[in-house]
Each structure stands twice: as C-alpha cells, then as structure tokens.
Structure 1
Amino acid sequence: MQNIPNILSTTRLLLAPVFLFMYIQDALVWRSLSVAVFAVAAVTDYFDGKIARYYQVESDYGVFVDPLADKFLTFAGFLCLPFLDSSQFPWWAVGVILFRDIVITVLRLYAGRKNLEMKTRITAKIKTMVQMIFLYTVLLLGVFKESDIDFADQAEIFFNTGVLFYGMIIVTVITIYSGIEYLIMNPHLFRQEKRS
C-alpha cells in the first residue's frame, strides 16, 4: 500500500504525453480516447493524495513526482487548446499559465533541495481544481464539435459565443493570483544564505 501513491503519480506522469499525442491526431477516435486518458490521469491525482494521507505514507520520490506529474498533465492539456481555436484560447494566455507553473515548480524543487518549507494556501488547490475542470470541459467540447452526434451543434455554440474565451481569462487570472500569492508567502526562498 505504501507504494501505491507513487505508482499513481508515475502513471499520471506517463499518461500526460500519451494524452497529448492522441489528442492532436486528426482521427476522432484518437481524440475521444485521449479525453478518457486525461480523465484517468486526473483521477489518479485525487487517489494518490487520498491514499497517502489515509495511510500516512510519504516519500521523497512522491513529494518530487506528484506535483511534477500534475504540471505535465496540465501542460499537455493547455497546449492542446490553441489548436482547437486560437482566438478562444490565445497562446499568450497558455504561455502565462505555463510560465507561472514552471516558476512555482522550480521554487518547490529548490525548497525541497534546501530543506526549506514552502507555504501554500487553499488558493493553490482551487487553482488546480479550476484548471482541471476547465481543461476537461473544453477538451470534451472539442471532441463533440468534431463529431456527428446531436450534441455537436451545442458544442459549436460554446465556441461561437466567446464564453470559452472568458473562461480562459478567468483561469489565467486565478493562476496568476495563485502564483503571486506563493511568492508573497515565501520570501525566505529568495534570501541569500549568510556565510559565517
């Protein structure tokens, strides 16, 4: 049971590029399957944390891989969005989100290496939840839009009304705010060590 959280995190890390490769294919069947892969990967994020907390098992590997796997999955998801519609999901917004997550991930790795505490708040969890819900919704709508099912017309409406653009802006703002909050709460990470 102790290794299950690490296995789930590693699985999520490996599924991220698989999802990305499948979603960018032109064939509808690949895109459809990729959304299922994304959902499975996202679910592992919930269960690895729940199992680790319940059995009180934590390892250096898990602390390192778990947030890294989260970032790989969200990176893969956001990279797909401009290919669906770059006017709804502009590259600059994707770049801002990825830049924020890269900076915070590097700081977390630095803090771990220096044995420094990195404070977090509920905003970070809200940010991750909002990103995941938004990504899954848009990726699913992208699949529906290209299909021949009845819901295809409704999915097309979402892309035509501009509501997804505003959703992307909201996600971007929440992501930026969360990143700024990290920096404000952890000034000790930027202080130079005093030499004796």
Structure 2
Amino acid sequence: MTRYNLIKGTAFSYTGWVPVPLEGRDPYVRSPVYRQIFAADVLGHHPEVQVYERPDLAWNISAYGIYESGALSKYVVVNYDEWNATTPYERPVQEVALAVPSWVDHVMVKRLTADGASADEGIQWAGQSWSNTDGRLVQSGREKSDCLHASNGMVELKLSSTEVMLVSLARRGQAVC
C-alpha cells in the first residue's frame, strides 16, 4: 500500500471520529477507526504483502489468505451474518475450518467485535477500544488474543455473527501467543 486517504467530515457515516460535540453527544470514535487499525495490523510492515480470497467457505463467510514474500502468514475471516444487540435471539456462532501449512503448530486469533452490525459504541479490536479525549485518540483495555492449536493441517475456529478475525500462523516452536 503506497497511499491511504482519510475523508474528513463531522457527521458522515464513514468518518473515523467526531471530534466535537454533535447532536447531544460528546466527541466519540466511530467504527471506521477500528477498521483502519485492523487493516494496519493485517498488512503490517512487511514490504511484500499479497491478499488472496479463499472461495470454499459458507455463503456468509469470507476468508482471505495474507501472504508475506509469497508465504502464507495470516488469514482474515469475516462473518457477514448480520446481527444486532436488538436482534431477538442469541448471537449465532459458526464453525470455520481453515487449512494451514504443515509447519503451523498453533495460531493466534484476534477479534474485531461490536454489539452488532450497526454499532457505534462498544466496539473492540483484540480487547481494546479507543475514545476521543481532548481531541486525541485514547486507547483503553488490554490486548486480548486466543491461542488455538492446529492439527493435521487444519485449525478449527468459532466465529460469531458480525465478527471479524485475524488469524496469525506460528511455526513449531515459535511463541506468538
């Protein structure tokens, strides 16, 4: 990625934060900030990143292999099943099986979660959230991840509706979780 543009505007739905009081609310961070932080963690600092879609999953699940210098290093898994906190039933969870190279011993899973698809509050990336204090982004919470073991070239994941995962692969003996 060589360039990234941010569009400024106080009330636009794609604005990352509202820096001034608006419509009775104090300044606040909006969901696009979390998408931007997530994308930065997915792409990382590696100079040669490629992204390929995995076409073999359920209709409401998308997965993308993230390759660094031609080697699979991560997956991004998205559950497009829309759910909101006002939905009159418990949040559904789907099981997803991903193929991993034979050298993978375990994976580290970080989750982008919210109280639902239309949430503007209660959003977390890997257990952390951000707020707008004195015109600056302030991070709160401790980073959270899950460590799952791979077996026979597969890793089994549980993905809630309206949730996104970053699955980082680890070589045998490599400590990532």
Q: TM-score, normalised by structure 2?
A: 0.28
Q: TM-score, normalised by structure 1?
A: 0.27
Q: Larger helix proportion, structure 1 or 2?
A: 1
Q: Which has the larger radius of gyration?
A: 1
